[in-house]
Amino acid sequence: MKSVRDFDVSGKKVMVRVDYNVPMDDHGNITDDNRIRATLPLIGYLIEKKAAIILISHMGRPDGGPVPALSLAPVAQCLGTLAGHEVLFAPDCLGRDVEAKVAALAPGQILLLENLRFHKGEKKNDPDFAKALADLCDIYVNEAFAVSHRKEASVVGIPSFAKSCAPGFLLEKEMQSYRDAMENPRHPLAAVIGGAKVSSKLNALLNMLNVVDSLIIGGAMANTFLKSKGINIGASMVEDDLLDAARDILAKAEKRGIPLLLPVDLIFASALDGGAERRTVKIGKEDVPDGWMALDIGEDTMKLFSDEIKKAGTIVWNGPMGVFEMEAFCEGTMAVARAVAGADGAFSIVGGGDTALAAKVCGVADRVGYISTGGGAFLHLMEGKELPGVAALEYM
C-alpha cells in the first residue's frame, strides 16, 4: 500500500476523507475540536507540497437529506482558525457548483464540501455517488480511521474509481500502533477491557484470548462474568442471555493458561446517582443490598488490576471500569488510567470513544503510547477483522 508521501501531489486535486463528525452545542459552536486537530499534519503537508485540497466528511445522522444543524460550515471556520489558512466551503458535496469550485481550486487552497450524508448514496455505498466524488480528484486519501470499519461510499466506494489512493498520516499511525500492540507486542501483553456490555465486545474478547498473556475485565460487563460463576451482583446491569458465552470465555482462558482477572470487590449504590448511598462489597463474601447496583470497582480490585498492568510490556485498554462520568464512581477508571500511564517501559494503546475520553478526564492522555481516534474501528480491529476502508486502499 502506497503512502501519500509516495505521490507527487503538486498541482493535483487531492481529496481527503476526514472525520469531522465533531460535537457542537445548540449555537453551532464546536465543543471538542480534537478530530479536526488530528488532521492538521496531513493538511499542512499537502499545503506545503502545493496540492489543491478537497476535504469530505459526514456529520451526524441526517438520514439522506439536508439538516441545517448538521452542516459542516462551522467546521470550515474552525479548521481555518486552527490551520491559520483560509478554508473555502461548498454548500453541497456534488453538483455543478461543487464542480466549478473544485475546478477553480488553486494549489495550496482548501475546500471543504458539505455533509456527505445529506445524500442517501453515502450510507448506501451507491457506486454512482462514489464515482461522482472520485471524478473530482486526482488522488484520494483516507484520513478517517474512525469510519474505516464502515462500508460507505466515501470509505470503500471512492477507491474503486479514484485514479490513485493512499492512507493519510493519521490512518497510517493508527494501523501501525495497533500492529505494534497486537501483532508484534513486547510481552507480556495485557488487555484491559471494560465498558457496559459483553455483547458489544464478545468477539473482541474471544480474539484477545489468541494473543494476550493476561486479560482484565471490569466495568458493567464484568457483572455478566461474575453472575455466570453464580455470584450475586444485585440489581447490577447483566446480560443474562450471555451467561453461557461468559462461562465459555472463562473456560477457554483457563484451558490456555491465560490469567483472567475479574473484580474482587465492587462499589454498589442504591441508585445511579452520584449522591446515592453506596458501599464497597467483597464479591462472593458479603451480601449485596437488595436493589443496589455495581457502579465502580473497589480498592482491592484497583490494586489487583494495577499490579497486573504494571507487569506488562504492552497494554491495550478499551473501556472504563465504572460510571466514570460521575465523580462518585470514577476512582476505578482513574486507578487503571494511572497504572497504564505509569507502566515503566510498556507500550500502551488506548481505544477511542469512551476510553479516549476517560484518559483525557483522568489526566493521562499525554502519558500513554497512543490514543486511538476511533472507538468502533478500534474494536473492529480487536475482533481480528480487516477494516474495509484500509482493504479498499490495499487492493488498488
Active site positions, annotated:
35, 197, 353, 376
- Residues 115-129, buried b or exposed e (16+ Cβ, 10 A)? bbbbbebbbebbeeb
Distance of alpha carbon 19 from alpha carbon 110, whole angstroms: 16
Cα–Cα distance between 131 and 158 in angstroms, integer? 6
| Separate counts of helices (H) and strands (E) for the chain | 16, 15
Distance CA 179, CA 77 (A): 35
d(CA 371, CA 157) in angstroms, rounded, equals 28
Kindly write down the DSSP assignment for every residue of 97-141, as one continuous string: HHHHHHHTPPTT-EEEEP-GGGSHHHHTT-HHHHHHHHTT-SEEE
Q: Are 221 and 201 in contact (CB under 8 A)?
A: yes
Q: Where are the alpha helices (DSSP H) in 135-183?
A: 158-161, 169-182
| Alpha-carbon span 30 to 74, nearest angstrom | 8
- Pairing label, strands 293-297, 265-269: antiparallel
Residue 178: helix, strand or coil by DSSP?
helix
**Residue 69 cell numbers, joined:** 444543524
Return d(Cα 347, Cα 327) in angstroms, integer.
28
Stated length of the chain = 396
User: How far is 249 from 260, CA to CA, in rounded Å?
Assistant: 9
How many CA atoms lie within 13 Å of 196's alpha carbon, on the beta-carbon side?
6
